[in-house]
Chains A and B, each alone.
Chain A
Amino acid sequence: MITTLAAVLVLAPLVAAGLGLTLGRKLPPGGIAVLGTGGSAVLAVIVAAAAAGDSSRVWQSSTQLTPTGTIPVTAGVFVDGLSATVAVMVTLVALAIQVYSIGYMRHNVRYPSFAGLVSLFTAAMLTVVLSADLLVIYVGWEVMGICSYFLIGHNWERPAASAAAVKSFLMTRFGDVGFLFGIFVLGVAAGSFRIPDVLAAVPSMSDGTLLAATLLLTVGVVGKSAQFPLHSWLPDAMEGPSPVSALIHAATMVAAGAYVVARLYPAFLAAPATLDVLAVLAVISMVGAALAALAAEDLKRVLAYSTISQLSVMFAGLAVGGRVPAIGHLLSHAAFKALLFLGAGAVILAVGSNLLADMGGLRRAMPVTFLTMTVGFAALAGIPPTSGFFSKDAVIAAAGHATTGAGWLVLTGLLLTALLTAAYATRAWLLTFFGAPREGVSEASPVLTVPLAALAVPALLLGFGGLWWTELRPEWGSSLLSVVLAGVGATVSYVVWRADPVRDPAVRLGRLRGLFASTFRTDDLYERTVARGVTALAVDVVGVDDQVVGRAVTGAGRGASRLGGLLRLTQNGNPQFYLTGLLAGVLLIAAGVVVLR
């Protein structure tokens, strides 16, 4: 029963996507999309309620999808507390985005395909969350990649949009290849690609196998979750419309990376070296991205860098053994980040620009957007009592309890990030809503503000729900420290801004600003090495191939005219003679080739 419901909840958005993409211009596209995602959300809540009622149980189903000649691929679901909870998050956030899009994309001619692709994206993420088979998870994993390609490239007539789309797909696909090989290692070692079988086989796997598997999986996770060194596709992905950003940054795609690590957590725990690697990458990403967010000029880019940074917080939690805090942060982040992106969309629609410099003074003109985004920014900065405070604090506490060397590194990184996050969140908040009141701007329509309000509720209150789990209850020491640091960050931003409200506080960073905003010139480096190297190699290959082909054509032409007469003689209908003649002809050709050289 539960497994059937779970399967239907994955298929509902898929059917909606199929209908939307094929008949989207004949049927009401928004209706189909909301119906598919909404139905899925209802089912997700039912499944989660059942799973919560019996938290130790696991529901699974399996049918063979195809034989392969070795381990078969199976279709089936794997439902437990983790997958059921994340499924609820995915469907609810996706539903809010679909409703919002009806208003936001109303005048867009490409809305039908847009809605269909968002449905497909949702279905792919739900496949990752609920599938029991790792190869089917990989299918969902990559389908998300192509959906993000299409949606980031929504405005494909703009060169920047199509370039960002290609970049996002290629960078994540590079990681995906590693991910696939990681699945091979785990699956072949376990003799099955099914998650329960793989997890059961983890204790019997050798250290080398586990290390190889988890490191390879980490490559894919780093790509999908936009962590250093595969981070630079995410800020560029801002070329997509705001609802797409909300979807990619909150409910799907980037969250998939953290989810998969949590899903296969026993394998990662058995490979401590991988967790250390994850810790180092997470600390680099969280601090680096926070600095970039501090310097960025574009509101959506601030939020994009904050996503990288907040995802790193989840990975930091996972790296120090805090699976529940990490997932807690995944859920609260989904709520407040979706809220922030949808709010940013409303602001951008109102002022007609993405740049912070063009905003300001919107507090009175857009009260609902202001209030809800204030909740979002507070949650991002980790201000009590918002959800972000509870979940981030739980991760910090987990790092404090860790006894390894990585624990200290992670703890330092987290505290520094808490300070920086409050600083950039305050800066963005002030530059967007404060300053001289703006004339001629009005609040967004209810179809936009209702999803904002709906998301503000969990962004504000989800932390109290988390008190149910001991791991998510705040601890005095760490919470006090993080709140003080956040307060310092926010105050510094405020003081600098207050001194000259017209100027961007980031100007004070001086020459460092360019360095931060370009994420320490990593993108330039990739452009100069990888992109140019591959292009040069490609040009060389074509040059060589043309030369070789050119020579072969002339040689073959001459040979053919000499042999043409001989070949004609063989067409006398006698198969025996035909065969003999062919053999002779071949010998002649061979001789001809030798002579012509």
Chain B
Amino acid sequence: MSVLTVLLVALPLAGCLAVLGVPERVAVWFGVVLTGATLVVAVVVAAVFDYHRSGTVQLSVDGSWIPSIGLRFHLGVDGISLPLVVLTALLCALSAVYLSRPAGAPERPRAFTALLLLTEVGMIGTFVSLDLLLFFVFFEVVLVPMYAIIAGWGGGPGRTAAARQFILYTLLGSGVLLVGLLVIYSQTSTLDMVALAQRAGTGIGHTVQVIAFLLVAGGLAVKVPMWPLHSWLPDAHTEAPTVGSVLLAGVLLKMGTYGMVRIAVPMLPEGARVLAPALGALGVVGIIYAALACLAQRNLKRLIAFSSVGHMGFVLLGIATLTPVGINAALFGNIAHGLITGLLFFLAGGVAQRYGGTDLDRLGGGMLATVPRLGSLLVVAAVASLGLPGLAGFWGEMLAMLSAFRPGGDLNRGLYLTFMVVAGLGAVLTAAYFLVMLRKVAQGTASPRWAGTVIADVTAREWVAWAPLVVLFVAAGLWPGLVLGVTDGAVRGLLGGG
């Protein structure tokens, strides 16, 4: 069975190499088949996974790889990584389907598909790695193809600068992260993530833990992105091609919060206790800051990008409470954000393709009248993103606030209550900017600028790429146990029974 875990990484990797040998015109379809096959493997993994033991690593592979530096090829899934693995495989497959639109094939499709598959290798690899160095390697593998996707297929004149900024910022974060990981290694002489989590920091001195947590969480915070390290994100998103934005928001950001849940919090508990309040504070500042930035935003894509900073603020708040409910909130928030913001970026891409841009003033209003299906999807996705109960966005945010109401251990309760209230106000502001955006774009009457233009509504291929996201965020909203039932057991195990 454990061959499945290897397949999750090996399939897209093999595809990435093989696609270079196929003709350009079938390259995109090749990508659809391979990402589809990977998704099937991910679903099979989810099917054979034993949910009663979600806290135990399953389907694991553990072999020596490079003994001289102690690198082991150790992969496996548990309740924390499984939902993210399925999400990644799904978003990659939907991205490939989206690329296969008759009108939407990218230039140099072979190269693009190879990069897409390589990104998938890195992303899934990050989530299934159980060795610190292997985790880091996969973490880094994502950077280069994503850089190339933004720089090579970006939409605007600023794409090169944005891509550079993206890779520099995240490389800087990675470097800090690597130093942090090496500090852990130097104190424990092991890179085995399962063992390290079980040790829960024994053998690492208090000061060292604080320093290591600062390095690990600080490095990951760039990826999240945590305010004020977010400034690479809006530019990267604005310039990236649609599929790049979808994967960036849908999966890449989660690698940061996943790392915090998987490495920083369980392996360095004392460091976490010291620095969690700072993490929470920056998280809630990010919620308010992002909401205000969105309120005055003039560009749809940039608005969605900033909204990610706010949503990740809720995820950070959940993690910062160091409670099972907070971590569950973070993991649920990850999945919900991946589904909802993934769809929002797809829609922004659809809008850009039809209207030649995403500037709100240029778009004008009346999308519900001109392209009713696209407009309705935008309304539904925006409403989901503002955290409406009954849709997936709600549970992550609500549970994050609930966890802040009663933070873990000896954390300052008054401080966390303040965080909770600020986050609550942020939720109101979040609703405000989404509704203001809908009022500008979806409602109202169409701008005379588009009077003579025929604008097509959602196509069949787009439905195939987008509908699964809607179905899933409605399902997870009505039945949050779909995700929380998987994560809860693992989270309790991670925090020592909570």
Residues of A within 8 A of B (CB): 64-70, 73, 135, 138-143, 146, 149, 153, 156-157, 159, 162-163, 165-166, 169-170, 173-174, 177-178, 180-181, 184-185, 188, 534-535, 537-542, 545, 548-549, 552-553, 556-557, 559-560, 563, 575-576, 578-579, 582-583, 585-587, 589-590, 593
Contact = CB atoms under 8 A, between A and B. Distances in A.
Main secondary structure of the interface of A (DSSP, over half): helix
Contact of A575 (B137, B164, B366, B403): B137
B444 to A, nearest CB: 6
A586 B175 contact: yes
Given A170-B432, A542-B292, 14 more contacts: A66-B395, A69-B488, A143-B389, A146-B383, A157-B443, A162-B443, A180-B398, A180-B424, A541-B293, A553-B162, A557-B165, A578-B137, A589-B168, A589-B175
Nearest to A558: B164
A64 B231 contact: no
B44 interface: no
B324 A70 contact: yes
B174 A68 contact: no
B444 A73 contact: no
B297 A181 contact: no
Contact of A66 (B162, B235, B480): B480
Contacts of B388: 142-143, 146
30 contacts: A68-B325, A69-B328, A69-B492, A138-B398, A142-B394, A166-B439, A169-B431, A170-B435, A173-B431, A177-B425, A184-B405, A188-B406, A538-B292, A538-B296, A541-B292, A541-B293, A541-B296, A548-B228, A549-B234, A549-B235, A557-B161, A557-B164, A557-B165, A560-B164, A576-B69, A582-B171, A582-B174, A583-B175, A585-B171, A586-B179
B464 to A, nearest CB: 17
Contacts of A540: 292
A583 B491 CA distance: 32
Contacts of B234: 545, 549
Contact of B366 (A142, A157, A583): A157
Contact of B172 (A156, A163, A590): A590
Contact of B140 (A149, A163, A184, A582): A582
A253 to B, nearest CB: 15
Contact of A534 (B369, B399, B429, B485): B429
A141 B388 CA distance: 10
Interface of B: 66, 68-69, 71, 133, 136-137, 140, 158, 161-162, 164-165, 167-169, 171-172, 174-176, 178-179, 228, 231-232, 234-235, 289, 292-297, 323-329, 366, 368-369, 383, 388-390, 394-395, 398-399, 401-403, 405-406, 420-421, 424-425, 427-429, 431-432, 435-436, 439, 442-445, 479-481, 484-485, 488, 491-492, 498
Q: Top 10 closest A-B pairs, CB basis?
A: A586-B175, A69-B324, A69-B325, A66-B481, A538-B295, A139-B389, A156-B443, A538-B296, A177-B424, A541-B292
Contacts of A140: 389
Given A149-B435, A157-B445, A69 B498 contact: yes
Contacts of B403: 69-70
Contacts of B366: 157
B175 A537 contact: no
A142 B479 contact: no
Contacts of B292: 534, 537-538, 540-542
A165 to B, nearest CB: 8
A67 B488 contact: yes
Contacts of A156: 368, 442-444
A68 B402 contact: yes
Nearest to B68: A576
Given A156-B444, A157-B445, A181-B424, A585 B175 contact: yes
Given A135-B398, A575-B137, A535 B296 contact: yes
A559 B168 contact: yes
Contacts of B431: 169-170, 173
A556 B174 contact: no
Contact of A553 (B165, B399, B432): B165
B235 A70 contact: no
What DSSP secondary structure best describes chain B's contact surface?
helix
A560 B164 CA distance: 7
Contacts of A545: 231, 234, 293
A542 B296 contact: yes
A149 B442 CA distance: 14
B325 A582 contact: no
A84 B234 CA distance: 51
A109 B433 CA distance: 28
A180 B420 CA distance: 11
Contacts of B479: 65-66
A69 B327 contact: yes
A161 to B, nearest CB: 8
A178 B445 CA distance: 35
A166 B484 CA distance: 32
Given A188-B405, A542-B297, A549-B235, A170 B164 contact: no
Nearest to B167: A560
A221 B66 CA distance: 63
Contacts of A556: 161, 164-165, 168-169
Contacts of B136: 579
A552 B165 contact: yes
Contact of A173 (B324, B326, B399, B428): B428
A367 B71 CA distance: 89
A538 B235 contact: no
Contacts of A153: 443
Contacts of A534: 292, 295, 429, 432
Given A66-B480, A169-B431, A549-B234, A583 B178 contact: yes
A383 to B, nearest CB: 41
Contacts of B232: 552
